[in-house]
Structure formats: C-alpha cells, structure tokens
C-alpha cells in the first residue's frame, strides 16, 4: 500500500502543464553570457599550452594508447566507428543525448554525427578554468602510471577514483576538456556556467566575476566537420533530486539516452520509484531511444532494473567494450515504453 501511495503522489507532482520545453542548442546560451575561459586564460590555447608540448613523454604515451591493444581493446578511431554503427542499429539520434550517469564520458558524441549536445549528470565537481589549468600542469609533470585510466574510452568511467589524485580534488573538468580535445579534436570556444531557477529554467551567469558555481557548466567546442557542439554537465543525484532539477527534467528535450557503467541501476522498487522524475518519465515524455550496457554484479548479460520488459539487444563486437558490456556481451536498446512504470 505504501508503494502505491508514494507512486501516485510522485505522478501527481510531475505535471507538464504551462511549461515551455528547453531545447539544448547554441541559441540557448546568451551572447553576453560570461565566458570563464577568457576570464581566466584569454583563450583556450593558453590553458592547453602545457598539454601541447610536442614530444612530451606523457602525451606520447597517451596517444600510443589510441592505437589500441590487440586482444584488449580496439584503437580509438575504430572504436568511434563501431560506436557510430551501434548508434545506427539501436536508433540513437540527435541532436541531444542524455547521459544520466555520465561523469566526464564523451561516448555520447561517438554514437552519431547528428548528436551535437550531450547532457551529462554526475556526482562530480566540474571545477573552473583555474583548477583545470592546475590539473593539466599536474598531469604533464607526472602522475602515477595508473592515472592513464583517464584515457580509457571503452569501459565504465570510475571518476570517483580520480579524486585520489590531489590535483583533481577541485574538479574533473580538465579531464572532460582534454577528452574533447583528444577524442573529438574539438576546439574549445567557450566555458559558460548557469543555474536552475525554481521553475526549472536555465539562468546563465552574465558577469565574469559574479559568484558562480561549478554545478552547472556548458563547454562549447567546434569539431573538424565545422559543427558547434556542446557538453552540458550538471552535478546532481538522480535518486535524491532537488525540486528545480525535477522541473528542469520535466522540460528539457532530448532524443536519446545512453547509460553505461551504472552498476545495478534500478535494482530495487524504491530506486525505480526515485528515478521516475529524473530519468524514466523524462525519457518517456521525449519518446527517447535508450541504449545501455549490461548490469554489473552478475555473471550474465542482463539488463538494468529500469526495464520492466526485456529490451532488444545486440552482441558487442570483438575487442569492443561499452561500459560493462565486454566483447560478446549484450548491449540493450529499446523504446521507453518498456521502462518501469
């Protein structure tokens, strides 16, 4: 009885009446919004200068990883092409993709060239350009060998482990920026911050030295195909959301959802209920196509508990890994009608 009562209350709290949709695009960001990149560095090249030192042994080793390791992982370009093929098969499309446990993951941009906006929700602090610059200097002056896991583009992304490196305690934004530069050959054009109003609207920071928060960040960048893309990062718990975030998720528009490395997402009734306003109902409202890896903590290729009905699936190709789905494991995909209701 308690379960039904809470579920009815939750459904009543989520009303789409009298709200306008929020489409993620460059037009959403005011031309007068403060660009923190310019405030701190003048331009992106100044921030990246330590990283771009030619012949640096760290950079040389990182780029060697992109060639792949036979029997372990395919090279970066082959991985991106395979992601795009899987995106076609599963029906992932743009322009906007939600990565609800995304951290600093850039995989969403690999899934289709039509995806221009990735909205990433995570528990991690993004930081500001000053902390990002410090992190890049720390990387180039020698982190431990295990910190090459920053450059994993295949499996799940254990960002919580990154905070063991003191230079990352102020935020993981540097990792996102370096991945945009290295994985997507993106040219950073702006670093903007915003906040959410009580109505769930996005209010951008307009004054360069106005008190800002790294909880809501958008990085704009230009890719070699001359397309302006955006990486949106919101620091928020999906299962314990703040009211303004729930309102935002009622309004934001996206066409696809990518979930990977989510452990046992939706394993209990309580967790399924808690994910209704921040993931399940927004996906259904948008009729978004959903693709996920397999759930962790099992020896079998089983879908996450957010699915009420068994979704369609395909097998991960040889040497290809997507989150917990290793070669030969299942990758799940389907419409939101099959999600828990």
Instruction: Give the integer Cα–Cα distance in Å for 205 and 31.
Output: 11
- Confidence bin at 110 (pLDDT 50/70/90): very high
For the stretch 207-251, pLDDT in tens is 765 555 678 999 999 999 999 999 999 999 998 899 999 999 999
User: Which residues have a Cβ under 8 Å from the Cβ of 9 and sit 6 or more positions away?
Assistant: none
Is 90 exceeded by the pLDDT of residue 64? no
Q: Find the angle CA(101)-CA(107)-CA(112) to the nearest 5 degrees.
A: 120
- Confidence bin at 164 (pLDDT 50/70/90): low
How far, in Å, are 25, 107, 191 from residue 94 at the CA level?
11, 14, 22
- Confidence bin at 148 (pLDDT 50/70/90): low
- Confidence bin at 86 (pLDDT 50/70/90): very high
Predicted local distance difference test score (pLDDT) of residue 14: 38
Total domain count for the chain? Answer: 1
| Percent residues over pLDDT 70 in the chain | 79
* 38 CB-contact burial (10 Å; exposed 0-12 / middle 13-18 / buried 19+): middle
- The pTM for the full model equals 0.89
Which domain range does residue 101 map to?
Answer: 2-338
For the stretch 177-200, pLDDT in tens is 888 988 999 999 999 999 999 999
């Amino acid at each position: 009885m308690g379960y039904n009562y809470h579920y009815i209350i939750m459904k009543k709290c989520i009303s789409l009446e009298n709200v306008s949709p929020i489409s993620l695009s460059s037009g959403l960001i005011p031309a007068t919004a403060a660009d923190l990149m310019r405030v701190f560095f003048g331009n992106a090249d100044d921030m990246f200068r330590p990283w771009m030192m030619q012949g640096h042994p760290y950079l040389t080793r990182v780029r060697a990883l992109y060639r792949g390791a036979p029997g372990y992982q395919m090279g970066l370009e082959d991985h991106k092409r395979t992601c795009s093929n899987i995106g076609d098969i599963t029906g992932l499309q743009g322009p906007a993709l939600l990565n609800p446990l995304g951290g600093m993951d850039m995989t969403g941009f690999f899934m289709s060239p039509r995806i221009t906006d990735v909205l990433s929700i995570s528990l991690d602090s993004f930081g500001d350009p000053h902390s990002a610059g410090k992190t890049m200097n720390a990387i180039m002056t020698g982190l431990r060998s295990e910190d090459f896991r920053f450059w994993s583009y295949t499996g799940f992304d254990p960002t919580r482990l990154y905070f063991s490196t003191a230079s990352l305690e102020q935020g993981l934004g540097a990792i996102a920026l370096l991945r945009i530069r290295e994985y997507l050959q993106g040219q950073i054009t702006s670093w903007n911050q915003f906040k959410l109003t009580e109505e769930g609207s996005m209010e951008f920071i307009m004054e360069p030295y106005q008190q800002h928060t790294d909880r809501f960040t958008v990085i704009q960048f230009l890719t070699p195909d001359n397309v302006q893309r955006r990486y949106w990062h919101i620091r928020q718990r999906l299962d314990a959301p703040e009211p303004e975030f729930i309102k935002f998720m009622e309004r934001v528009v996206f066409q696809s959802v990518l979930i990977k490395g989510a452990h046992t997402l939706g394993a209990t009734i309580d967790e399924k209920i808690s994910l209704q306003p921040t993931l399940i109902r927004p996906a259904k409202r948008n009729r978004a196509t959903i693709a996920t890896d397999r759930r962790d903590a099992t020896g079998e290729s089983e879908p996450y508990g957010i699915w009420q009905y068994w979704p369609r699936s395909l097998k991960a190709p040889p040497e290809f890994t997507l989150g917990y789905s290793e070669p030969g494991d299942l990758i799940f995909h389907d419409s939101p009608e099959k999600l828990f209701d």
